Amino acid sequence: MMEAPGPFFFLVRDGVVAPELLTPLLARLPPEQYVRTRVRDGEGLDSLRWPVARDAALASALARRFAAPEVASARLEVEAAAGDAPRLRSLMRRAGARYVAAAGGEPALFRQWWRDATADDLALFAEPPWPAPTAAVVLNLCSAYHAAADGLYAFHVHRRLPGPSAEAVVQLFKQALAHKLIDAAGLVDAAVELVSAGESTFARPPSPAARPMIEAIADACAEVCRVTGASRCTVMSETFAIPSPPAAVSFMILAGKRALVVLELPGSPAWTSRIAGLRSRPLSTRVGGSGRFELVLGEGEREEDRAAAAVAALCFFVEASLAAHVAAYPEDEPVFPPVDDAMIGRMFG
């Protein structure tokens, strides 16, 4: 039971998914380790074995199986707001209003459950109600994304329990299962695909000494995704990709002489134009004992520059990490060779 990660903890416990189905998934997961994150002013926690962002991604994969246009629209909204807890709270609250209205509830009941209800939320009760099953799917989808952005609490970590994001995925899966849109094996396959998409690749195996650095860079990419809302952040060259090769390239910048930072982003956010300027001056980063990267905005730096500054700081972090590693372990020079125009041409030409 304790081995089942994320939503599978509940699904195995409740007899919905047979434990033996998880064998290919468990084989790909590292040992459990919890880390502190920046969410809730540094009080948030996350699992390196099954990050809460993976719950959101699995929720999105399940939502894709529903044909209702309302679900498709909600999926695009939550994916664009990924990592932004206040924005996701607003989307979840709105989905809650539609769910209560679809169930025949009154605005007064909704306000009892949602003390921060707005006039716009309450106005939804005057609109034609959504079909109740559709409203439930959208609410669970929004809940999974919001809970992932909120992170794990000490309560969950102390008891080694998945967070609310996993519980929302369970409800989504049960809805998809009831509509014969997926079965237990299909859910495991989707989870394996998500885990595989996060695995680093190398043209030549690095030395064992590189493992802590690789894990630190992968953690840093995850942190940048949380800050920027990017669906993927990859540090890469022709010979490696950490944590995984991108499916598409929305933004790319050199991170020193040995790597590129590549982002997959929804739309074309204006803040990307400020990355190069921030890259040209030092930024403060903090690295804890676990090798975690964290951006620290200095005095006079604007909160609206946090996303751009996070990418710029990641570039500094990667440049320093790779330079120090290759200097200490020259046998890894072929694993992390210098990037030149010819290499970029081969990669993206």
| 312-346: pLDDT as tens digits | 889 988 998 999 999 999 999 999 999 999 999 99
pLDDT of residue 185: 95
User: Over the chain, what is the mean pLDDT?
Assistant: 87
Instruction: Determine if residue 83 is left, alpha or beta; phi over 0 gives left, psi from -120 to 50 gives alpha, anything else beta.
Output: left
Residue 295 has pLDDT above 80, yes or no: no
pLDDT of residue 1: 41
Mean pLDDT along residues 194-210: 83
User: Which of the 8 DSSP states describes residue 29?
Assistant: P
Q: Among 49-63, 181-195, 269-283, which is the least confidently predicted range?
A: 269-283
CB atoms within 10 A of CB 1: 8
Q: Among 159-163, 174-178, 279-283, which is the least confidently predicted range?
A: 279-283
CB 247 within 8 A of CB 309: no
Residue 227 has pLDDT above 90, yes or no: no
pTM for this predicted structure: 0.66
d(CA 9, CA 220): 27
| 236-278: pLDDT as tens digits | 999 999 988 887 888 999 999 999 999 988 777 888 998 888 8
To the nearest 10 degrees (0 to 180), the angle between helices 132-150 and 164-178 is 150
